[in-house]
């Protein structure tokens, strides 16, 4: 459920008409709903209310500081993967003890920054990383709490570019080597083993891969305890999928996911951490865009929008589907026609959808690309020298620009011409 609905014939974000936002901020623009973000975060809290837990929002899904503050104020922890994400979480007021550091290629500088600023735990993904972390911790005179990310070799049954839990993927250490790596970790100075971590992929629409991975996690936890390690935290990763099509079967709910966790590891007495990103932010955002032209092609009509692949890359990158709806509600019985909905960027891949049934639209009419709150703005670029798309946060009947549209001067101002040129 989200909070983007038609009111008096116009699509609203909560109580704010999207046409008002378009008039005041311009398009394209991302629009997020506070009520939806709050609701989705709380669903995960409820799903784990049977035990001690921390819901760490995966910052990579939506890293706007206002969004992070909203979630942080509700009690969220943060799952971060870079110095930039760490800085964003801290700028949003999230304390270090609620920040988990994931990622396959943490640099020494990033480790130092997190250790100086405060960190809950590092999710270590390789033995070389473990050694560097030990050295950095010793040089700073601190002890670092760690979990090792283990690759369970489970098929997440999702798009190949976002599956992470098979042995051929770069993530984590092979499960067969886990006990040996934990034994090494326990011997390293500055390292304190506290937990075990897994993340098998993103946009999972089936609970079975989780069952398989978490069963392996439970077995491994028992084995590690038998080896003498104190495993008190289990980080179950993120990845629960969202419905991208309104008319489709919805993926499992957070409450069902929470039950899978409970069934698998509930008897181990561990604190549970999860790292959902898409499920919290995805359906809490839309990309609002205007029609620039309608163009008759050979046997097809193109709807040319002012949003493009640089603003929302998911269709071009993963052949992802985002529902496209007119902001002015079509009256019942209105004729619809198929359009290829495209952006102005000079690539054929700049196509949001082909053959979408839409009512007749005219230049300046508004459309919304739904389910764009996660992996939308964060993956935007300035390709074709299009300034980064702005972001707006709605709360009830108010809204605020939480990232302004850069001016051309700001965009150009980052380049410099060397004096010898
Ligand atoms: N934890 C770790 C270690 C991750 O790598 C990820 C996502 C998450 C948590 C959050 O997963 P989520 O709950 O959002 O599925 N750009 C792609 C998605 C990439 C996901 C990368 N890792 C997309 O647009 O579909």
Question: Residue 156: its pLDDT value, please?
Answer: 85
Indicate the class that CATH gives domain 4-31+282-412: mainly beta
Looking at domain 63-276, which of 3.20.20.10, 3.30.70.260, 1.10.150.670, 3.20.20.150 is its CATH number?
Answer: 3.20.20.10
Q: How far apart are CA 421 and CA 416, in angstroms?
A: 10
Q: Decide if 30 contacts 372 (C-beta within 8 A).
A: yes
Instruction: Give me ligand 1 centre to Cα 63, in Å.
Output: 13
pLDDT tens digit sequence for 254-302: 999 999 999 999 999 999 999 999 999 999 999 999 999 999 989 999 9
Instruction: Give me ligand 1 centre to Cα 59, in Å.
Output: 9
What is the Cβ-side half-sphere exposure of residue 113, based on CA atoms within 13 angstroms?
18
Q: Decide if pLDDT at 59 tops 90.
A: yes
Percent of the residues in the chain that have a pLDDT greater than 70, as a whole number: 100
Query: Candidates 67, 277, 316, 321: which one to mutate for ligand 1, based on the most atoms within 8 Å of Cβ?
Result: 277
Residue 30: enclosing H or E segment and its boundaries?
strand 29-33
Q: Which residues are catalytic?
A: 346
Ligand 1 is surrounded, with C-beta below 6 A, by 58, 60-61, 79, 102, 162, 199, 202-203, 237-239, 275-279, 314, 318, 374-375
Query: Going by CA atoms, what residue is nearest to atom 8 of ligand 1?
Result: 238
Question: Residue 394: its pLDDT value, please?
Answer: 98
Q: Decide if pLDDT at 56 tops 80.
A: yes
> In 271-319, which ranges are continuous DSSP H helix?
278-281, 314-318
Tokens of 59: 């910052």
Task: Tell me if 243 is assigned to a ligand binding site.
Answer: no
Query: Going by CA atoms, what residue is nearest to atom 20 of ligand 1?
Result: 202
Q: How far apart are CA 254 and CA 192, in angstroms?
A: 31
Q: Decide if pLDDT at 356 tops 80.
A: yes
If pLDDT is split at 50, 70 and 90, which confidence band does 249 have? confident
Strand pairing report for 336-342 and 301-305: parallel
Instruction: Give me ligand 1 centre to Cα 202, in Å.
Output: 5
Question: Residue 160: its pLDDT value, please?
Answer: 85
Q: Decide if pLDDT at 247 tops 80.
A: no
Atom of ligand 1 at shortest range from CA of 317: 24
Inter-CA distances, 217 with 51, 92, 121, 171, 349, Å: 17, 32, 18, 16, 40
The neighbour count for residue 50, using CB atoms within 10 Å, is 13
Question: Residue 159: its pLDDT value, please?
Answer: 86
Task: Tell me if 135 is assigned to a ligand binding site.
Answer: no
- Provide the residue ranges of all domains of the chain, joining segments of one domain with +: 4-31+282-412, 63-276
């Amino acid at each position: 459920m989200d909070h983007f609905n038609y009111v008096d014939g116009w699509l609203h974000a909560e109580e704010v008409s999207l046409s008002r936002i378009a008039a005041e901020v311009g398009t394209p623009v991302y629009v997020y709903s506070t009520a939806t973000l709050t609701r989705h975060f709380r669903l995960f809290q409820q799903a784990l209310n049977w035990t001690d837990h921390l819901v760490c929002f995966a910052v990579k899904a939506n890293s706007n500081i206002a969004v992070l503050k909203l979630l942080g104020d509700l009690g969220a922890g943060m799952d971060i993967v870079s110095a930039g994400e760490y800085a964003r979480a801290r700028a949003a007021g999230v304390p270090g003890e609620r920040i988990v550091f994931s990622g396959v290629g943490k640099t020494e500088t990033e480790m130092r920054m997190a250790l100086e600023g405060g960190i809950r735990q590092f999710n270590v993904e390789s033995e070389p990383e473990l050694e560097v972390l030990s050295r950095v911790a010793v040089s700073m005179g601190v002890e670092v709490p760690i979990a090792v990310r283990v690759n369970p070799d489970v098929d997440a049954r999702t798009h190949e570019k976002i599956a992470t839990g098979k042995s051929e993927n770069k993530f984590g250490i092979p499960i067969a080597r886990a006990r040996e790596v934990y034994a090494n970790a326990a011997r390293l100075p500055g390292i304190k083993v506290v937990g075990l971590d897994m993340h098998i992929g993103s946009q999972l629409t089936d609970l079975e891969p989780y069952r398989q991975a978490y069963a392996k996690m439970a077995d491994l936890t028992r084995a590690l305890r038998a080896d003498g390690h104190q495993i008190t935290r289990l980080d179950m990763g993120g990845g629960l999928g969202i419905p991208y099509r309104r008319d489709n079967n919805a993926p499992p709910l957070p409450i069902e996911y929470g039950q899978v966790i409970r069934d698998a590891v509930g008897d181990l007495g561990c604190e549970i951490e999860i790292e959902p990103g898409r499920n919290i932010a995805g359906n809490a955002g839309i990309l609002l865009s205007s029609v620039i032209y309608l163009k008759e092609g050979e046997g097809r009509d193109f709807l040319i929008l002012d949003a493009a692949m640089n603003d929302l890359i998911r269709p071009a990158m993963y052949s992802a589907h985002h529902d496209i709806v007119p902001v002015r509600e079509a009256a019942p019985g209105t004729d619809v026609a198929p359009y290829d909905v495209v952006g102005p960027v000079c690539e054929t891949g700049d196509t949001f959808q082909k053959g979408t049934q839409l009512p007749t639209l005219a230049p300046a009419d508004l459309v919304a690309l739904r389910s764009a709150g996660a992996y939308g703005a964060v993956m935007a670029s300035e390709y074709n020298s299009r300034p980064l798309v702005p972001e707006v946060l709605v709360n009830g009947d108010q809204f605020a620009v939480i990232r302004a549209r850069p001016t051309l001067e700001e965009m150009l101002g980052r380049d410099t011409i060397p004096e010898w040129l």
